[in-house]
Amino acid sequence: MKNTTLKLLFLFVATQLSAQKFNKEEARLIQSGDANSMMKVIQITDPNELKILKSVSTDIDLKDKLLPVLAQRMFLSMRDPANPGIGIAAPQIGINKNIFWVQRFDKKDEPFELYLNPKIIWRSQLLRKGMEGCLSIPDFSSEVLRNYTIKISYYDKEAQFHEEMIEGFTAVVFQHEYDHLKGILFTDRLKEQENLEVSKVQVDGNLFIAEKLRRQ
């Protein structure tokens, strides 16, 4: 119990030391509308917006007073009736901070949950292939390989620290949004996986094991 407490304290201190408040431009963007208004979801078709999408995000100061406003506006943007999604990351609305929403298909009533300063700390060798799209990439979808099971750490909206294992489609959504924080789009994963050899573990299923990279 003592070791667990010390670990949690260390992680909290380390996160807070590296965390940053929203800068002036980010604060201006967050305050450009009230908490009940959507924000623009930026697109890869705009060179300036693509630069934001390809940038690596930083941890957010959990005490930043603008965080609840951003979280609410992000949620509304994700659930836009004209183009609803099941996840959204802060870079997609122009803010390079480690924040995203994900729908938890593995929980009762499939709730949407907010993740602050999330990390993937373990990935399974077992892979899952499934169709993906993106709110920032219009009119395109394709099958992507993702780790079937991952172990994650994160802070919730109450600034409480968590570690847990997730798998299946929820893990896919989490990895997709986590990639956004690293400046990686699912189309980048497609290109990367062109040189990956995999073996099926189910004859008629979508589960695979990575073998090796093909020679160029």
Name the pLDDT band for 210 (thresholds 50, 70, 90).
Answer: confident
177 is catalytic: yes
Residue numbers of the domain that contains 161: 20-213
In a domain, 90, yes or no: yes
Which strands form 126-134's sheet, in the order they lie side by side?
Answer: 137-147, 126-134, 207-213, 196-200
Burial code (b: 16+ CB inside 10 Å, e: under 16) for 106-140 equals: eeeeeeeebbbbbbbeeebeebbbeebebbbbeee
Residue 115 forms part of a structural domain = yes
Neighbour count for residue 199 (Cβ, 10 Å): 9
With beta carbons less than 8 A apart as the criterion, state whether 91 and 181 touch. yes
Per cent of the chain over pLDDT 90 is 84
Average pLDDT over residues 67-83: 97
- Taking only the tens place, the pLDDT of each residue in 4-39 is 555 555 555 555 567 999 999 999 999 999 999 999
Does residue 2 sit within a domain?
no
Kindly report, residue by residue over 152-182, the tens digit of the pLDDT: 999 999 999 999 999 999 999 999 999 999 9
Per-residue model confidence (pLDDT) at position 195? 87
Strand partners, 9: none
- Residues recorded for the chain: 216
161: Cβ contacts below 8 Å, ≥ 6 apart? 8, 11, 12, 153, 154, 155
Round to whole Å and give the CA distance between 47 and 60: 25
Whole-model pTM: value is 0.90
What's the pLDDT at 4?
Answer: 55
Cα 68-10-66 angle, rounded to 5 deg = 15
User: Exactly one of 26, 49, 132, 177 is catalytic; which is it?
Assistant: 177
The verdict on residue 6 lying in a domain is no
> How many helices and strands (H and E) does the chain possess?
6, 9
The CATH number linked to 131 is 3.90.45.10
Residue 10 lies in a domain: no
Say which residues have a Cβ less than 8 Å from residue 172's Cβ, sequence separation at least 6. 128, 130, 132, 144, 146
Residue 1 lies in a domain: no
Count of CA atoms in the C-beta half-sphere (13 A) of 52: 20
Which pair of tokens denotes residue 184?
């990686």
Q: What is the pLDDT of residue 12?
A: 54
In a domain, 3, yes or no: no
Q: What is the pLDDT of residue 215?
A: 43
Q: How many domains does the chain have?
A: 1
3-state secondary structure of 24: helix
- Reading phi first (left if > 0) and then psi (alpha if -120 to 50, else beta), residue 26 is in alpha
Question: In this structure, is residue 38 part of a structural domain?
Answer: yes
